Amino acid sequence: MKSLRHPWSSWTTLVSGNLRSTRLLFEPMVTTSVQKKWDLQGQKWTSSHTQAKNKGLSAPCCSAGGGSDPGNKRPVPTARLVPYIVNNLPTSQALHQVSDKAPSTSAGEISQPSFHKSHGLESLPAADLRSYLKKAYDDALHYCKSKKLPDDVDPTAVFSCNRLDLRNIDVYGFDYDYTLASYTPELEQLIYDLGKEALLKNFKYPEAIKDLQYNPNFAVRGLHYDIQHGLLLKVDSFTQVQLGCVYRGLTPVSDDEVLEIYQGRRLPATYVEVPNQYHDPKAMKMIQLADLFSVPEMNLLCNVVEYLYRNNIDYHPQSLFWDVKESVQSIHPLMHQVVEKDPKKYLEYHPLLREYLVTLKDSGKKVFLITNSPYQFVDKGLRFIVGEDWQQLFDVTVVSARKPHFFSNDNIPFRRYDPDMGRLWDRVNSFEPGHIYYGGTLKQFQQLTGWKGDNVVYFGDHAYTDLADVTLHHGWRTGAIIKELEYEIETLNSPDFKYAMNWLQFLTSLLETYQDLDNPEVQDIIKEWQSERHIIRKKTKHIFNQQFGSLFRTHLNPTFFSKRLFRFADIYTSSVTNLMKYSQRHTFYPRRGALPHEYRSWFN
C-alpha cells in the first residue's frame, strides 16, 4: 500500500525540547487545568491535569497523565452549547472520544491544519479510507480543542468600515431618534398598540385582531417584506434568501415553497432594492425593515396575516401591507404626545451624552442636529436626556427635515421655528445658535454654514435615510448607531459560541477537502459531517433570534443589512457616547480581512 502523508502532518510552530502547553478548552460542567508536552523518547503525549468537580461530574474530555507546567494553567469554560450539538449528531460520541495519540510529526513541532487532500486516497481499500477520514476528523477536533479561544470583543467599542481620522473632523452632526435618543421597549409596545387600534378604526378589520399580542422577540431589524407575496424573509449580501428564515405571518414557509415562489434562492437586485425606494415607496415590490421603528409595525402585520390565514379569510397581501403601514404612520402624532407626557417611561437616560456634547463644544467643534421629528417631541426628549439648556449645545438645530428628501431636494426653504408662534415667514439668511429651524435642504444648509466634504461626520441609525445620500453625493463621513450591537457582541463573546464557530470552520474545511471522494463506502462519513455542520449552524443561528438569527449574518455571508451598513457607514457602534473612549486625535482603522484567494487563517 502506498504511504500517504496525512493532511495534518505539516507542523509550523517550533519549540525547543518541550512542547508548549496545549489547552483543552471544552468539557461540559468540568473545570480542568491541563499541561501537555511531547515525550521525545517515548513519542507520545504526556500531560497532567487538575480537576474541580461541578455538580458531581468529574470526567475530563481527554485522559491525561504525567508532566506539569504550573505557569500555563487555564480553567476550561463550562459548556452549554456543545452538549446540545454533541447529543444530536449521528456521531454522537465524536467530541468525547478524542485520541491523545500525537499525530505523526517530527519531534518538537506543533501541528496546524493544512487541509490538502493527499494523492492516492481514491486507490485505498474502503476500510483504510474510512480509518483515514476518521483520523482526519479526530485530529481536527483535537487541534480545535487545543486552540485558545479568541479574546472577547468590547461591546461598547467603535468599529471601522473605512479609515476615519478624527483629527480631520471639524463638524459633528446627529440624528435624534435612536441616535441621540434611545428608547425603552415600552415604545415598541406603544407603537404596536396604537397601530392596532388605528387598523381596527380606520380600515374596519375584524374585532378579534384587538386580542393579538405584541411579541418583541419575533422579528429583527434588517429583514425584508415581500409586499406581493406577503412574506417576511431574511436576505444576504448576495440577495439570496436564507432558507428557514421565511415566514407567512407567524408560520415558517417550507424551503420547497420558497424555492418555487422565487424560482431559486437568489432574488433579482431590482426586486430587493429599487434606487428610489425611500423616495417612492409605492414603487417597491419588497421593502426592508431598516430601523427599529419598523419592528413593531412588522410584528402587527405578521400577526394580522396569521389571523387571516388561520381563519381562512381571503386577503390581498399588497392591500394588507399598505393598510398596516398607513395605520402605523397615522399614529405618530399621538405617539409623540404620549412620549412627551412621560419621557421617563419611554426614553433611556444617558448621563454621558451631555458630557460628550460639551466636550465637543469645548474642543472647538461645530455641532448640529438634523431630525425628521417635530420640535415639541425633540424638546421634551432632550430636556430629559441632556438638560433644559440643550439648545445651547448645538450650533444649528433643524427639525421636521423630511429626510431623505432633505438631502436630495433643492427648492424647499428653511424657516425659523418659534416654540410659541410656530413657523415664522421671514427669510433665513444665516443660522444662529440657540434657534430652531424647520424644513430646508442640505444644499442650503451647506451654503449657509460652509460645512462641506470630509471634515463633517454625521451620525444616524438608518443606513438609507440618514447616511446614504450624505456619503454618496456630498462626501460627508458617516457613523451608524446600531443599538442591537451590544447584544450581538455579548452573544459572540460566549465561550460556547466561540468554540462552535472554530469547530465549524474546521468541519467545513474537512468537507471541502474530502467531499469529492467517489468511494461509496465513505459517503456515510461525509453525510455525518454535513449533518453535524447543519446542526451547529442551526443552533448558533437560534442563539441570536429563534426565527431569523443574527442581524448581521446569515449562516456564512453578511446580511443585506450588513452590506448596506458597511457601504454607507465609515464607523459604527452601539451608542454615540462610546466615542468618549477615544481622543479627538484618534484614527479608526478597518480590519484587514483575508480575501477568498488569500491565505487561510483560522483564528484571526
DSSP-derived pairing of the beta strands 366-370 and 396-399: parallel
Classify residue 240 by its DSSP letter.
B
Q: Taking the CA atoms of the chain, what radius of gyration do you get in angstroms?
A: 29
What pLDDT does residue 43 have? 43
Residues 284/227, Cβ–Cβ less than 8 Å: yes
Q: Distances in Å between the alpha carbon of 161 and those of 556, 563, 588, 602?
A: 19, 11, 9, 22
Extents of the domains making up the chain: 11-148+490-550, 185-341
What pLDDT does residue 587 have? 98
What pLDDT does residue 284 have? 80
Residues 6+ apart with CB under 8 A from 132: 4, 6, 121, 124
| Residues in the chain with pLDDT values less than 70 | 1-119, 274-283, 423, 600-604
What pLDDT does residue 105 have? 40
Candidate list 177, 323, 395, 469, residue with the active-site label: 177
Unique residue bearing C-alpha cell 429599487: 274
Residues 548/93, Cβ–Cβ less than 8 Å: no
What pLDDT does residue 169 have? 98
The predicted-structure confidence for 461-477, as pLDDT tens digits, reads as follows: 999 889 999 999 999 99
Residues 6+ apart with CB under 8 A from 252: 244, 246, 547
Residue 177 annotated as catalytic: yes
What pLDDT does residue 30 have? 36
Residues 330/198, Cβ–Cβ less than 8 Å: yes
Residues 506/144, Cβ–Cβ less than 8 Å: yes
Candidate list 69, 100, 170, 175, residue with the active-site label: 175
For 372, how many CA atoms within 13 A lie in the half-sphere containing its CB?
16
Helical segments of 64-113, H only: 81-87
Residues 339/378, Cβ–Cβ less than 8 Å: no
Q: What does the alpha-carbon distance between residue 237 and residue 242 come to, in Å, rounded to a whole number?
A: 11
3-state secondary structure of 423: strand
Q: What does the alpha-carbon distance between residue 130 and residue 302 come to, in Å, rounded to a whole number?
A: 49
Q: Decide: pTM greater than 0.85.
A: no
Q: What stretch of H or E contains 494?
A: none
What pLDDT does residue 328 have? 96
Q: What does the alpha-carbon distance between residue 129 and residue 401 come to, in Å, rounded to a whole number?
A: 68
3-state secondary structure of 237: coil
Residue 175 annotated as catalytic: yes
What pLDDT does residue 256 have? 98
Residues 567/561, Cβ–Cβ less than 8 Å: no
